Amino acid sequence: MRRGTRLGVGERRSVVLGVGILAWLVALIWIFPVAWTLLTSFKTEQDAATQTLHQGLSFARYHDIAHSTPGTLSLQTAFMNSLVVVLVSTLIVLLLALPAAYALAIRPVHKWRDVLFFFISTKFLPVVASIFPIYVYAEKWNLIGTRTILIVLYIAINLPLAIWMTRSFFMEVPRELIEAAEIDGTSILNQLRSVILPIAAPGIAATALLCVIFAWNEYFYALQLNFASGSTMPQWVITNVSTRGNFLAKLSAASIVACLPVILAGWAAQKRMIRGLSMGALK
Amino acid sequence: MTAAAADVALKGRVGDPFSSAWRRRLPLLPALVYSIAITQLPFLVSIYYSFTNLKDKTQSLIPEPTKFIGIDNYKQIFSDPFFRQAVWTSVQMTVLAVVLSLVFGTMFALLLDRKFLGQGLVRTLLITPFLLMPVVAALIWKQQMFSSLFGLLDKALTFLGLSSVQFISSHPLASIVTVLVWQWTPFMMLIILAGLQSQPGDVLESANVDGASSLGIFRQLTLPHLRRYLELGALLGSIFIVQAFDAIDVMTGGGPGSTNIPYYVYQESIGGGFRYGSASAYAIVVVVFSIIIATFALRVLSSLFKDEERV
Amino acid sequence: MASVQYDDATRLYPGTTRPAVNKLELTIDDGELLVLVGPSGSGKSTALRMLAGLEPLDDGRILIGGKDVSRIAPRGRDIAMVFQNYALYPNLDVAQNMGFALKQQGVAKEERARRVQEVAQLLDLEPYLDRKPRNLSGGQRQRVAMGRAIVRHPQVYLMDEPLSNLDAKLRVQTRAELVELQRRLAVTTVYVTHDQVEAMTMGHRVAVLRDGDLQQVDPPSKLYHEPANLFVAGFIGSPAMNLLPVSVDHSVKLAGADIRIGGLDGGGRGTLGFRPETVIIGADGPIAARIRLVEDLGSEVFVHLVIEHEGEERRLVAKVDPPFSGKVDDNVRLTLRGTVHLFDAAEARRATVTL
């Protein structure tokens, strides 16, 4: 007797194989710009400029960017700034969004639709429009160039999405479990901890990941409200752009380093993200 | 029922300030207050500025005192051809980017819906562009792909014997849309993939037994099921893509074919014009229109909010 | 209308060592209702899905109407299937659900509507024709699933536990309607269930499966009175047959009493089986027992007893006609009267006597 077959009835092995190959081709083409940039980051500047490979590969460019000339923004400073800003803002976003989602999903307020719409509508105002009033007040309160102002703004940016997604995940919690907890007289905090969070955990992880992605990659507010020692990673990448474009390899290395944390986080959490999305972010 | 719970129920009936309605609202308040404070206050200040001729005094040769000018800023908007250009560019950019990334995203999701060797790795590779910084993505395309000096696409064209193309300068809008689609397709793909995998397996089996072809199943059952997900992708994608800024700043720095509304407002205010009063007016107009469009769209896309009422 | 044949059909899931369905040999006659019954994991659903074409064969063949369909996809087999959770098309209304297969075949709109109307009338679904599945009750959805299959006039109906999601009363009622319908339409039907009561009341014949192997296929009465092995004996019938380990010499001793049953040469161990209705409770008889529990269902009484057999306490169930005056902890005497089976150490039935 043969080994068990994986093909369905009437399925041709060639078709299944073909789909797999097509998927691989598509993925390789799609990732090509990133792959090429990675390759370039190991080249010498001469090779990079002419898109050739005569002078071999090395980590030299990475060494360059890790040891910046004194007086310019260093990788380490920018990295720390980004790290603190992203982690603190995401944490606070979750602290605000979880109770809010509770109030929109588990024991909803009467006007939950309007409230949701309000939160989404906060994203209609172009960031570019509110920048001037924000700058004026930030300057008044000595917040220019600090991590604080960015944290405050990133929380506001990510809150609508976090609330929307967390609410959807809370809606997935079976009604009976919540009713049982209410009958037991459990406080909201304990309800969250023992009943709701364990079930919604993958979704909350997905939400947190998205907040991290958006906060880490944010460029505009950082550009307008930061300078020198307060800068974050996106700004640091831009400092590696020279107008003559002769430093393509160095820029490639900088790009890879800047994006690596989020890429790794995204890769690690993608299963959770997909599971979170299919669990009911889409209600 | 515990004493505490009975207490609450009783208080609810008496209309106490700690009644059930307020207990429900309480968890919502921190987020709500924060959001209002950080987003609405600048908005209100912007409204105020929009009625003035506020400018950065250090930038102009003849300093003007800031004064209240009523709706002059607004009147000027509707006769501004550059603004109309920016609106049209915004519409084109957003529609093209959203539609194309939805189409590609759906195709990729269909490919990923079946098991094959290395499926997880393929998915990992496909979502990577979404994780990149928008500025980095724009830089990669600007320098590595499109650039007429170093660009790969250019080298490929000359290799094939075709003439070189100045991608970014001759086709600014297409260049920017390319980067946007490259980055946002994975996002759409994940949403559509979730939709595909939420289809109950036995319904698809039943359709097979009932004689439907694969294409027939997709057309009659899968697409209608995906409608909610497509709508969600379009809505979320539009909200983010309409705000696109980084790619424009990096690739074209503005310019007639590639300036969308946010960039135009930026140019009007701290991006060079320093005319904060008038920039604010533009922003307000945009917000009002966005709210109108969104309200209309959400009414049409009622499937998103068609939830059972929770008591 | 067609016959169905499983010819050494086998399914081995990749990565497992034991086949889910192991060389199944089964022939179902045209117009017959055959029930596949067994505990979970017995392979009954897998066997049904192999017939549907939803599971591939790793060995053997499946024939419908004499034609080998083993490699043909479900859509090409001219079968209709009722799923356990009904699998109704959520975005289509009842009429469109029922007409779906006809539409795939290219049947014209008017003809489709006519046939759908006909079946809707038959199943009392006319008021619901334009409703979507989410607005139907469980019982209504079940009827739509049935209607969807009936409208097609296929060669074979396949049913995968179609009644298990209905509440008890509705289940009994629908069961009777289903049997009546099948007899009237006379279409070959393969029906899967884990409920042996359904199996016994519905099938022309019943096939008992265990761990992928076919144990016995016979009309219900033969399964009841002439089980082929210990498993079938214990599975069919409720309450279950009383089964007790015994030593076989020239006679068999049960709780010290002699049971005259031959059939095992050379002695050894075996199992004695007798149904509750063969246990007679009285003031005298060869077996001593104590009453543990009395279940009075009104039309019949089940008495749970304890006897001492081979040095251990063993439980028995007796079925008695009312009225029954015994109480818990009463000491009584038992006599066996009726069919008694003896199973050998390999669990096959070797001897049957009527006492």
The predicted pLDDT at position B12 comes to 42
- Percent of chain C clearing pLDDT 70 (strictly above): 98
The predicted pLDDT at position B22 comes to 77
Ramachandran angles phi, psi of B70, nearest 5°: 65, -135
B132 with A132: Cβ contact below 8 A: no
Summarize pLDDT for A213-241 with one digit per residue, the tens.
Answer: 999 999 888 888 887 677 888 888 888 77
Tokens of B6: 């009975």
The predicted pLDDT at position B56 comes to 67
Of residues C87, C90, C91, nearest to B205 (C-beta): C87
Query: Would you write out chain B's pLDDT as a tens digit for each of its 311 residues?
Result: 455 555 444 444 444 555 677 777 888 889 999 998 888 888 888 888 888 777 765 655 555 666 777 777 777 787 888 888 888 999 999 999 999 999 999 999 999 998 888 888 999 999 999 999 999 999 888 887 777 656 777 777 777 777 666 777 778 888 899 999 999 999 999 989 888 988 899 999 999 999 999 999 999 999 999 988 898 889 888 888 988 888 898 888 877 788 888 888 888 887 777 777 788 888 888 888 888 887 777 776 655 445 433 32
The CATH homologous superfamily to which domain B37-303 belongs is MetI-like (1.10.3720.10)
CA pair distance B199, C87, nearest whole angstrom:
11
Of residues C75, C87, C101, nearest to B203 (C-beta): C87
Higher-confidence residue: C4 or B71? C4
Task: Using pLDDT thresholds of 50, 70 and 90, give the confidence band for residue A279.
Answer: low
Disruptive mutation site among C18, C58, C77 for chain A (greatest number of A CBs within 10 Å):
C58
CA pair distance A230, C229, nearest whole angstrom:
82
Of residues A1, A3, A5, nearest to C56 (C-beta): A5
The predicted pLDDT at position B182 comes to 95
The predicted pLDDT at position C250 comes to 66
CA pair distance C32, C41, nearest whole angstrom:
25
Task: Using pLDDT thresholds of 50, 70 and 90, give the confidence band for residue C35.
Answer: very high
Of residues A1, A8, A10, nearest to C58 (C-beta): A1
Tokens of C279: 């246990």
Chain A residue nearest residue B230, CA to CA: A282
Mean pLDDT of C148-153: 92
CA pair distance C161, C194, nearest whole angstrom:
8
Ramachandran angles phi, psi of C294, nearest 5°: -120, 120
The predicted pLDDT at position A66 comes to 78
The predicted pLDDT at position C57 comes to 93
Cβ-Cβ contacts under 8 Å, C90 against chain B? 203, 225
The predicted pLDDT at position B64 comes to 61
A4 touches chain C (CB under 8 A): yes
Q: Which range, of A46-50, A138-142, C151-155, C235-239, averages the lowest pLDDT?
A: A46-50
Cβ-Cβ contacts under 8 Å, A262 against chain B? 131-133
Residue A94 to chain B, least CA–CA distance (Å)? 10
Of residues A131, A251, A263, nearest to B128 (C-beta): A263
Cβ-Cβ contacts under 8 Å, A1 against chain C? 10, 12, 19, 58-59
Q: Which range, of A245-249, B39-43, C340-344, averages the lowest pLDDT?
A: A245-249
Of residues B45, B125, B266, nearest to A27 (C-beta): B125
Residue A16 to chain B, least CA–CA distance (Å)? 8
Summarize pLDDT for C262-273 with one digit per residue, the tens.
Answer: 656 666 888 899
Of residues B210, B224, B225, nearest to C100 (C-beta): B210
Chain B residue nearest residue C76, CA to CA: B211
B119 with A23: Cβ contact below 8 A: yes
Q: How far is CA B254 from the centre of its chain?
A: 19
Contact yes or no for C346/C319 (Cβ under 8 A) = no
Q: Which range, of A202-216, C96-110, C218-232, C244-258, averages the lowest pLDDT?
A: C244-258
- C155: three-class secondary structure by DSSP: coil
The predicted pLDDT at position B11 comes to 42
Give exposure, B107-143, as e/b (b: 16+ Cβ within 10 Å). ebbbbbeeebeebeebbbbbbbbbbbbbbbbbbbbbb
Q: Which domains does chain C have, with CATH numbers?
A: 4-230 (3.40.50.300), 240-354 (2.40.50.140)
Cβ-Cβ contacts under 8 Å, A10 against chain C? 53, 71-73, 76
CA pair distance C62, C90, nearest whole angstrom:
32
User: Does residue A178 register a pLDDT over 50?
Assistant: yes
A10 with C10: Cβ contact below 8 A: no
CA pair distance A89, A156, nearest whole angstrom:
9
- Helices C138-150 + C109-122 axis angle, to 10: 130
Cβ-Cβ contacts under 8 Å, B213 against chain C? 75, 104
Residue A15 to chain C, least CA–CA distance (Å)? 15
Sheet architecture: strand order including C301-309 = C279-282, C331-336, C287-296, C301-309, C312-320
The predicted pLDDT at position B13 comes to 45
Q: Which range, of A79-88, B10-19, B70-79, C288-297, averages the lowest pLDDT?
A: B10-19
The predicted pLDDT at position B17 comes to 53
Summarize pLDDT for A113-150 with one digit per residue, the tens.
Answer: 888 888 888 887 777 777 878 888 888 888 787 888 89
The predicted pLDDT at position C223 comes to 94
A10 with C58: Cβ contact below 8 A: no
Cβ-Cβ contacts under 8 Å, B233 against chain A? none
B-C CB pairs within 8 A amount to 61
Cβ-Cβ contacts under 8 Å, C13 against chain A? 4
Q: Per-residue DSSP letters for B2-41?
A: -HHHHHHHHHHHHT-TTSHHHHHHGGGHHHHHHHIIIIIH
Q: What is the ipTM of this complex?
A: 0.86
User: Which residues of B lie closer than 8 Å to C, measured between beta carbons?
Assistant: 200, 202-203, 205-213, 216, 220-221, 224-225
- A210: three-class secondary structure by DSSP: helix
Cβ-Cβ contacts under 8 Å, A102 against chain B? 27
The predicted pLDDT at position A151 comes to 92
CA pair distance C199, C37, nearest whole angstrom:
7
CA pair distance B209, C81, nearest whole angstrom:
7
Mean pLDDT of A106-112: 81
Sheet architecture: strand order including C67-68 = C21-28, C4-11, C59-64, C67-68
Q: Which domains does chain A have, with CATH numbers?
A: 13-63 (no CATH), 72-281 (1.10.3720.10)
B211 with C83: Cβ contact below 8 A: no
A-B CB pairs within 8 A amount to 283
What count of other Cβ atoms lies within 10 Å of the Cβ of residue C82? Answer: 25
The predicted pLDDT at position B10 comes to 46
Summarize pLDDT for A31-78 with one digit per residue, the tens.
Answer: 998 998 898 888 887 777 777 777 778 888 888 777 776 667 778 888
User: Does residue C201 register a pLDDT over 60?
Assistant: yes
- Which residue from A106, C34, C59 is spatially nearest to B23, judged by alpha carbons? A106
- B116: three-class secondary structure by DSSP: coil
